[in-house]
Structure 1
Amino acid sequence: MSTDRKLTTVGFDADDTLWHNERFFRLTQDRFAELLTDHADPDHLAERLLEAERRNIGHYGYGVKGFVLSMIETAIEVTKDRVPASVIRELIEAGQDMLAHPIELLPHAQETVRAVAETHRVLLITKGDLLDQERKLAQSGLGDLFDGVEIVSEKTPASYAAIFARHGHGAEQAMMVGNSMRSDVVPAIKAGGWGVYVPHGLTWEIEHAEAPAQDPRFHELQHLGTLPALVERLS
């Protein structure tokens, strides 16, 4: 692949960029609220859970396991240590169901990755639980299309710079595509690459950030199906 091209490498986020993910967290959170309806107002409970998730990212990382532990911690807190064991059991079972849920690709995911892979190096760059992300990738049917897979604990400018140097010609000739402004777009641009935002109807509050709208390397797409045309224009 010629290094004379402006864009040689395209990284894709996984959850809620290529396949559904957040909606399963929301459904489980609704069940969590039902289980604790006698102990906390749903809105207050959601705030307490979000606080616990923020606290626990450094301990548990991202993904279902940290989410379940944060729900259990919140349940203990709002019930003042009186949460029934049956509720904890249901929360654990809900997490196990999430970890076994079949993958459902988002519209345009397969054809877009396939099209970009014909002309560029393509990477999957995701964060979360290693085993769960590997499971989802295997079930997605997209695994053979990627030239590299990186499952990281956090997406930062430094991690993008290292990944794009390892798998490509550096961040300056790379693009990151995803639904999280905080994790996929902003740090990729800070690393020197392009950041492409593909909105998803459901986005975890922790992943929100202000769009770098004035940066020439920022692009926002209506849906993933328009990515190949952008890649061709920038290459």
Structure 2
Amino acid sequence: MSKISQQIIFDMDDTLIHCNKYFDLILGDYFEWMTEWFQQYGVTTEEVRTKQMEIDVAGVNKFGFASANFPQSLIDTYHYFARTHGRDSSRKEEELLLQLGLSVYDQEIEAYPGMVETLEQLREEGHCLHLYTGGETRIQKRKIEQMKLTDYFEDRIYIRQHKNISALEGILKDGTFSRSDTWMIGNSLRTDVVPALTAGINSIYIKQQREWQYNLVELKQEPHNVLYTVSALTEVPEIIDDHVN
């Protein structure tokens, strides 16, 4: 067992379970529809992708991780190109886009490789595990239940619609965390790593091969605490073990 028990806070989406790949699948269908509907105007997939990303990120910045953001970004992008090219909007097409966007939340949940082994190893080594995820309670609870994550996190689960510096600081202040012995594990520089560095806790950044643009920000501050970058969830236990021993 490690000499000092650590408080380990895990992000969920694209850290423990897959998330972005389902949005990519939906966007693949969306780009096909859009380029077909606007074919006569020469609209390209890249143009649609750029505008949808711009609108989606703006929505998250304003409203947090609300489930309506993504489908609304599809509809708003559709309206943008309709206005730009003088094409009439269609209620039928809008409804199709709404249902397409909402379908992303009905996808089967899939764990990242080594999720169970990683959580079990850390728990067996005496560490206290916490789950901190961004989104709507109903949707995130469904994922948590399907993956049986309460087996590892019990009542130490925090769901926030806005996942930022103040949200993490609130969790730390409300709990019994020793910041030098606390870790934030996640795939987002914006919502995991930067808040952790600001709060003065340790962080492990799990760098994904394909990342949502919203998550990518420049690290402007020099870390005064521990920051590691890894490419797989399964690397986490060894890093923490090496650090505390």
Asked if residue 234 in structure 1 is aligned to residue 243 in structure 2, the reply is yes
Q: Percent identity?
A: 24
- Distance in 2, matches of 1:212 and 1:197, equals 15
Amino acid at match of 1:18: L
- 8 Å contact from structure 1 (residues 110, 142) kept in 2: no
Other-structure match for 1:199:
207
Q: 1:188 aligns with which of 196, 203, 212?
A: 196
Give, in whole Å, the separation in 2 of the partners of 1:31 and 1:91.
10
Q: Which residue of 1 aligns with 2:142?
A: 135
Aligned to 1:53: 56
Report the 3-state secondary structure (helix = DSSP H, G, I; strand = E; otherwise coil) of the residue aligned with 2:113.
Answer: coil
Separation (CA, whole Å) in 1 of partners of 2:165 and 2:190: 11
1:64-83 counterparts in 2 under 5 A? 64-80=67-83, 82-83=88-89
Provide the secondary structure at the position in 1 that maps to 2:17. coil
Give the deviation of 1:59 after TM superposition. 4.5
1:192-227 Cα deviation digits (max 9, x unpaired): 001101112221101102357963511012311121
Matches within 5 A, 1:47-196: 47-80=50-83, 82-118=88-124, 119-147=126-154, 148-196=156-204
- Asked whether the 8 Å contact 2:182–2:202 carries over to 1, the reply is yes
Which deviations, in whole Å up to 9, do the C-alpha atoms of 1:62-81 show, x marking residues without a partner?
A: 25421001111111121127
- Provide the C-alpha distance between the structure 1 equivalents of 2:16 and 2:220, rounded to a whole number of angstroms: 23
RMSD: 2.3
Task: Give yes or no for the alignment of 1:219 onto 2:225.
Answer: no
Equivalent residues of 2:66, 2:161 under 8 A apart: no
Of 20, 23, 26, the residue aligned with 1:22 is 20
* Alignment check: 8 A CA contact 2:109 2:146 kept: yes
Q: TM-score, normalised by structure 1?
A: 0.89
Pairwise CA distance, 1:154: 2.5
Decide whether the 8 Å contact of 2:118 with 2:237 is kept in 1: yes
Q: What count of residue pairs does the alignment treat as equivalent? A: 232
| Deviation at residue 8 of structure 1 after TM alignment | 2.2
| Aligned AA (1:143) | T
SS at match of 2:68: helix
Q: Which amino acid aligns with 1:73?
A: D
